[in-house]
Amino acid sequence: MPSAEGKTFTFDDQSHIDPELLESIEYTGNPQRIKYETGEFSAVCPFSGLPDIAVVEIEYIPAGKIIELKSLKYYFTSYRNVGIYQEAATDKIYKDIWKCIEPSFLSIKTVYNVRGGILATCIMDSDIIKKNESK
């Protein structure tokens, strides 16, 4: 595995991410698109050990359950000292939220702070995944 030049910091592995922190609340209302956004997401770049800070946007249409927000905050906090690549973090967040609430539609977008002059944005949504599964 390649390593960064200079100082690196230690970090936890992905087993420290705790999807069991996510809780749901029953939802019986009309269909609606719900969007949550936080600029407080952080994980660790496993290449350098430096922090990766991102805005995370969650957009979904509930199918009987919604996310309990305090549990979402705790879940995101479990990433704080975990070494995980940006794309893998987006994938993990998507899978964990999908499992928790099984919505009609789900989109996860992460926009990471610029590093090395490059802005990284990762997007996963259930429409794209369904199209790929049908191939």
Strand, helix or coil at 96? helix
Residue 45: active-site member: yes
Alpha carbon distance 67, 108 (integer Å): 14
Is the whole model's pTM more than 0.95, yes or no? no
Alpha carbon distance 84, 23 (integer Å): 23
The residue from 45, 91, 96, 100 that is catalytic is: 45
pLDDT at 74: 98
The residue from 52, 96, 122, 127 that is catalytic is: 52
Alpha carbon distance 99, 102 (integer Å): 6
Mean of pLDDT values over 47-74: 96
The string of DSSP codes covering 100-121 is HH--SEEEEEEEEPPBTTB--E
Alpha carbon distance 39, 74 (integer Å): 14
Fold of 16-133: GTP Cyclohydrolase I, domain 2 (3.30.1130)
Residue 52: active-site member: yes
Where along the chain do its domains lie?
A: 16-133
Is residue 124 over pLDDT 90? yes
